Structure 1
Amino acid sequence: MKPSSITIFHNPQCSTSRNVLAAIRETGVEPEVIDYLKQPYTREQLTALLKAMGMSAGELLRRKGDLYAGLAEANPERSDAEWLDLMVQHPVLVERPIVVTPRGTVLCRPKERLQEVL
């Protein structure tokens, strides 16, 4: 496989993320794979990804799981800036996978959104 300028922010426990990674590899390209649970986002990095996707932190927020439920229940009126800080502290709160290519940056949920940037 040839090296690539494609990056995937990947969670190996997520079937959608695994499927998107496989679809990238099927094109003959080996992407840079960032396991964001082991190598968490910085605030600057997450801010840049949000800007590139034209999304707010609230739109990128993974709303499944006990952590989100507890945080939302504790303060349902959190601002995007507060959610962004929490996403940096707890990367499991970030929806996945995010793919960056020369053609753009996209949250590949559903996985078919990958075609927009390949």
Structure 2
Amino acid sequence: MITIYHNTRCKKSREGLQLVENSGKEFHVREYLKEPLSEKELKALLTKLNMTAIQLVRKNEKIWKENFKDKDLSENELVRIMVENPKLIERPIVENETKAVVGRPPEEINNLV
């Protein structure tokens, strides 16, 4: 089963959803701003992405710039910050049973679906 972590207000996320829909495969949409990830879920997703937490942070977000930008934060602290502020999570993310990709550019999703 494919899961897309989606933000309806994001153009790139909507483009990613379109690619997933066009794949013809069964999928689930998780609007992660309405249904936030737990720390455990986010850590598992980072493993599938083969990324560190800082690589998944949206560094141009106001929340990041005003509160966290110049701080020396651990991996666990970054995960907690993203769980508490899901807007900071890069989007869209598409996941299957074994792997995940960030859909930036959206065509990256084609490597998974």
TM-score when scaled to structure 1? 0.88
Tell me which amino acid in the other structure corresponds to 2:51. M
Quote the RMSD (CA, aligned, Å): 1.4
Q: Could you tell me how far apart the structure 2 residues matched to 1:22 and 1:103 are?
A: 22
Following superposition, the deviation at residue 107 of structure 1 comes to 1.1
Matches within 5 A, 1:14-93: 14-73=10-69, 75-93=70-88
Tell me which amino acid in the other structure corresponds to 1:88. V
Can you give the 5+ residue segments of structure 1 that lack an aligned partner in the other structure? none
Tell me which amino acid in the other structure corresponds to 1:27. S
Count the aligned residue pairs.
Answer: 113
The question of whether the paired residues in 2 share the 8 Å contact of 1:103 and 1:117 is answered with no
Q: Could you tell me how far apart the structure 1 residues matched to 2:81 and 2:98 are?
A: 29
Q: Residue 105 of structure 1 is aligned with which of 79, 100, 106?
A: 100
Greater strand percent: which structure?
Answer: 1
Q: Deviations over 1:67-103 (max 9, x none)?
A: 0101224x52122221111101110011011101246
Query: Identity of aligned pairs, percent?
Result: 35
The question of whether the paired residues in 1 share the 8 Å contact of 2:48 and 2:98 is answered with no
Q: Which has the bigger relative contact order, CA under 8 A and spacing at least 6?
A: 2
Can you give the 5+ residue segments of structure 2 that lack an aligned partner in the other structure? none
Runs ≥4 residues deviating over 4 A: none
Tell me which amino acid in the other structure corresponds to 1:37. L
Q: Which one has the largest radius of gyration?
A: 1
TM-score when scaled to structure 2? 0.92
